[in-house]
Each structure stands twice: as structure tokens, then as C-alpha cells.
Chain A
Amino acid sequence: MDKITFTKFIIDPKIFWSNFILLGIFILIGFGCSHYMELEGHYVTGMNNQIVWGLPHIFAVLLIVIASGVLNIASISSVFDKKLYKPLAPLSALLAISFLIAGLAILVLDLGRPNRLIVAMTTYNFVSIFSWNIFLYSGFAVVLAAYIWTMLDREVNKYSKFMGTFAFGWRIILTTGTGSIFGFLVAREAYSTAILAPLFIVMSLLYGTAVYYLVLRIISKFHNTYIPKDVLDNLKKLSVMFLFANLYFLGLYHVTNMYIAKHWDFEIFILSSGGIYTLSFWLGQVIIGIVLPIIILSSNKFGTHLALTIASFLILLGSFIAMYVIIIGGQAYPLTIFPDHIIIDSSFYDNVVHSYIPSIYEFGLGIGGVALALIITLIGIANFKFLPTMISSSHSSEPSDKTTGS
């Protein structure tokens, strides 16, 4: 019976350092943008008193949702005991922690007062879902670190199933919390529904799987990691399942909104008259993000690798647009302050669909965050034995004594 052996990321130092420096430059740009926004104030961004959450929040929420979802592979291995995924589990947990830290970094650096982070960490209002999320996010990082330890250290390996199950439960609650940040906003037609929580969970499952596949594919280009066909087939099936789950919950979310009479106007806005938001919804969120990947993954015309690669790219492009529709589209639609009146005139844009053009600084901060996630992963796999030497369907569930290093 084969043993799972883990190794560090063995890569030509030139390629490692060139990637490290490139990612480092993006991270510095991100910090620079954030610093400039803090010095000058948020007027230099595209955000204003109408669109209060912008591009940084799209990046941050997306990265946090991905952080939860990318743990799928480890969860399937530990919680559902699929031995096929056992060798892939540590990388999955590392990616989760990397994307979580990156998402949180963006959120914090976009605050009006990032220097008051200590206040957020010490003063809590437990009625606020935001406060709960601070605990859920920081707790998730600790749980993941412990989970990685149990997976990689033979002496505590017997606790890995328990920690895996614990992390699985934690991330479901975490994504529920992230969805509820929007779901609890009763004043806005786009958000005031509990369906956003399960919608965010299925989004995390889909986006996380796509990120995992792409990262594994990139690593396998440089590192001699063979991904067997049964793993690929399984990832393909999972992705199709998650795509249909997304379609279902997205449909349910909009049907529910249509059923609520006072949300009807917002539905008309997003689905038919909202200009860029309507286009983004149908072309980006639905067609690029869900329909095309389903067609590609279900078609026999592409090889499994090619189908998964194209589909994963489309899913991630769609995920970004989905966040744009949810976060920006939800704010762009004006508040209904007078349900039985029309606002004719206002100095505060109460009567118009708000526009949002993000600035280069917000984009820099967001890209810096993505680079942060990738550099943490790169440093992790280069210094610790996260990668399996060979992924095979016929192996024992116990890690090997013969763990090899670089």
C-alpha cells in the first residue's frame, strides 16, 4: 500500500525569486495605495456617501468567501473520509489561511481609520454581525493553523479528523456570517433576506474549488506533481454540482425578492432596467460565471484539464462580477425612504441610481491583497512540506514516516 509523502515546493530559485519579487511589488503598491487613501481621505477613491463600499470590498469579500471555499478539499478528505483527497488537504488549508489573511488585510486597510484596528479588536458590540465576524475570521485562522499542524505532524495526526470536522463547521458558520453582513441590512431591498447566507456558502464552495484547481495546476507546472485522472474527474463533478447549486440559490434569491412586494422595483432594476448592473448580472454572473462553465464541463469536446482550466477561469471572472452586482448594484439602487412618494429633488442624490467608477488606488489595494494571498501560499509551500510527492487513489489514510523534504 502506498504511503502519502509530503515535500516542499521544489522550484528553480530564479523562478521562485522572480515570482516573490513580482508579488512583493504588487503588495507594496497595495500598501502604498492604502496609505495614500488614508493620508488624503477617501475622496480620492470612487467611493462616496452613496456608494459607501466599493472595489476594496469586492476584493475583500471575494477573498474571504474563497478562503472558506478552498477548504473544500481538506473537508472532503477529513470530514467525508475521501482518501482520494488526503494528499491534497494540507495545501487546501494553507490556501484558506492565505486568502483569509489577504481578505482581512484589504478590509482593514480600507477603513477610514485603519490605525484604530486595536479599537476593533478590543471594543465589541455583540449585537453587530460585524463584531461576530471579527471573532469568526480570527478564530478561523487559529483553527486552520491547528488543522494544518494535525495534518503534517505525525504525532498529532490522530486529531486531524476532529480538527477537520471542527474547521468544516467553523467555515460554514463563517460564510453564514459573511452573507449575513448583507442579509441583515433591512433597509436595502437587495440585501434584506436570509437567503444571502446559503447563497454565499454555495458561492464559496464553487469559487474555492476553482481557485484550488488553478493553484494546483500552476504548482504542477513547476513541481513534479502528477494529478491523477480520478482526482480531475472528481473535481469536475464537484464543480458541476456547485454550479447547479449556485444557479438554484441565485434563482431562489431573486424569486424570493420578487415575491416580496416592496422588493419588486429592485428586481426590475437588476434584472431588466439597471444598465451596467443588469448587463453584469446576466452576462457576467449568470452566463460567464455559471452557464458557460456548466456547458464546458459537461461537454466531451475538451480534455479534462483544459475544461477545468477554462471553466475555473470563467468561474472566477464570474465571481468577481457577481460580487460587483451584489455589493455595488445593491447600493446603486436608491433607498426607498418614501414608499408612496417619488423624490423629485434632492441635494444628496436620493432620487438617482448611483454611479461608481473605482479609482486606481482601490484597484491597487485589491490587487495587492490578491498578491498577499499568493505570496503567503508561495512562502508556505516553499518552506513547509505541503505538497504530496504523488497523488494516487490507492494509498493509506495515514501519513508516511518517509516524508521527504527538498
Chain B
Amino acid sequence: MRNSAELTRREFIVKSVTAISAVYIIPDLIPKAVAAKPLDLEVSAKTKWAINVDVNKCVDGCTACVEACVDENGLYGFDRPETDSQWIRKLQIKDIKTDKVTTLPMMCQHCENPPCVDVCPTGASFRREDGIVMVNQHTCIGCRYCMMACPFKARSFVHENLTEQVTSAPRGKGCVESCNLCVNRIDHGSETTACEEACMKEGHHAITFGDLADPNSRVSLAMQAKPSRRLREDLKLKQRVTYSGF
């Protein structure tokens, strides 16, 4: 007679697979702040924030990412395009050899070897351990040397008095600023930047943000799915923003 406490081979296999699934799959199905950290913990190099842009999914004429960035960071301009700040912009480019036209978003590339950080005299331009390159608005003296040094024209100088600021993204006249990967959201546990969220809402999924240190993060999976490249790779800046599909 069979002891009810004993497992049959079938039961053993079924329960084992269920247990393994519970351990490995279910956590990935539940939205969670994989790499998000409590605010009282220091930023760590164990997290590697990154963005991948699939240019084949980026739609010509769509500016959802730009508008989301403006709203998130209060980048309301003065209708002076030469001096208004742009943290992210849309570009349309044509391949010299194939004539293929591509559209893509352009923002701070969050270099691992950022020239803007190297040249800043006061250290106001800095790179966090988790890879976010940003400007300390309290120690920037407004010399604009970082703007001269950036190969991607990713930085803007605040040219005039600001009237409509958002509390989560303080800005200052006379200082330089640029995309900071929505650092305020990320540090408060959000898993997505404003631009990625807007791109997803539009159903395009061209922008993918996440933690490169996590092999199962959205950005890691996106980069595994398609080869990606960095802009101006000859400069060896090791940007955290990569582009796929061109």
C-alpha cells in the first residue's frame, strides 16, 4: 500500500516545476522597483541606469517624449528656440550610403567617461555611481565649458528668469542643465523615465529604460534582442544611451 506522505514521480516533477516557476518567473511578472533604492541609501555602482533607443520603432513626427520631458522638468520656453532649454530633441537623419532616413530622440548620453565632467572647473558637472550624469545647480558657475566639451550638444544654458518651475526639478538662471534620467522619479522608486513612459503610452516602445546590471531588466532584454551602438564610438566615451536599428 502507498504511503500518502510519499510523492509519486509525477507529483514530484509538477511540484518542482511549480516551485521553480514561483522563484524565477513570478517576481518578473510583478511590477517592482528592481534597482530602485530607498532614499536613505547611497547611490551604488551596483545599479547601472541606461536607455536603449530602437530607432525602427521611433515614429517620424511624434514628439511625445519631448513633451513629456518638458512637463516633467518644467522646461517651458519663452518661444526663443535658440536660447530655450532642450533636454531631449527629435532628429531626422539620413544615411550617406543608403539614403535611409531615420528619426530618433537625442538627449544626454550619460557617458561613463563624460567630457563635461572632466572640464567642469568646480565639479558641478558630475557622474553618479549609478551612471547618471547631471549638474549640481548649487555649484554651477555658468561658465558653459561643459557645453563646449559635450560632443552631442546635450546641454542647455538657462538664459533667462524662470517663472514656471516644477518643485521636483528645480532649475536656475545662469546654470547649465541637461537630461538627468528623471533622477527625482528614479530616486523615489519609479522604474521609468518620463520619455519612456510617454513613448510606451503612444504604443511605440522605442525608448527603453532600465538597469543594465540586471540581465532581466527591460533595457538589458532590449539590448540582447537587437545589436546596439553608441554614437561617436571613436571618442570612447562609453555612453549609457545606446541606439539599435541603424
Contact = CB atoms under 8 A, between A and B. Distances in A.
A347 B152 CA distance: 14
Given A342-B94, A346-B89, A38 B153 contact: no
A50 interface: yes
B122 A113 contact: no
Contacts of B86: 49, 347-348
B207 interface: no
Contacts of A262: 234
Nearest to A132: B121
Contacts of B119: 127-130, 184-185
A40 B161 contact: yes
A384 B96 CA distance: 66
A335 B93 contact: no
Contacts of B122: 119-120, 123-125, 131
Nearest to B97: A340
B147 interface: yes
B151 interface: yes
Interface stretch (B32-40, B138-146, B187-195): B138-146
Given A187-B115, A337-B153, A347 B123 contact: no
A141 B122 CA distance: 21
A111 B90 contact: no
Given A41-B158, A41-B159, A49-B147, A112 B142 contact: yes
Contact of A187 (B80, B121, B157, B235): B235
A331 B145 CA distance: 12
B153 A113 contact: no
Contact of A112 (B83, B101, B176, B232): B176
A343 B92 contact: yes
Contacts of B94: 341-342, 344
A347 B215 CA distance: 35
A337 B233 CA distance: 10
Contacts of A120: 121-122, 141, 143
A116 to B, nearest CB: 5
B43 interface: no
Contacts of A344: 92-94, 101
A340 B142 CA distance: 33
A134 interface: yes
B83 A42 contact: yes
A111 B142 contact: yes
Interface string B228-246: 0001101100000000000
A220 interface: no
A218 interface: no
A43 B80 contact: yes
A336 B4 CA distance: 74
B74 interface: no
A130 B118 CA distance: 10
Interface in A119-148: 119-120, 123-125, 127-131, 134
A342 B106 CA distance: 15
Contacts of B80: 43
Nearest to A331: B148
Contacts of A130: 119-121, 143, 145
Interface residues of chain B: helix, strand, loop or mixed (majority):
loop
B82 interface: yes
Nearest to A349: B82
A130 B121 CA distance: 5
A50 B143 CA distance: 14
B25 to A, nearest CB: 40
B120 A342 contact: no
B52 interface: no
A335 B152 contact: yes
Contacts of B160: 40-43
B216 to A, nearest CB: 32
A11 interface: no
B143 to A, nearest CB: 6
Contacts of A187: 115, 149-151, 232, 235
A120 B115 CA distance: 19
Nearest to A127: B118
Contact of A340 (B96, B118, B161): B96
B91 interface: yes
Contact of B121 (A131, A336, A342, A343): A131
A38 B82 contact: no
Contacts of A113: 140-142, 172, 174-175
A339 interface: yes
A350 B104 CA distance: 13
Contacts of A331: 148
Contacts of B102: 341
A53 interface: yes
25 contacts: A41-B158, A41-B161, A41-B174, A42-B160, A49-B153, A49-B159, A53-B144, A112-B176, A123-B139, A127-B117, A128-B120, A134-B121, A185-B148, A186-B151, A187-B115, A262-B234, A337-B151, A337-B152, A338-B231, A339-B234, A344-B101, A346-B90, A347-B86, A347-B90, A349-B82
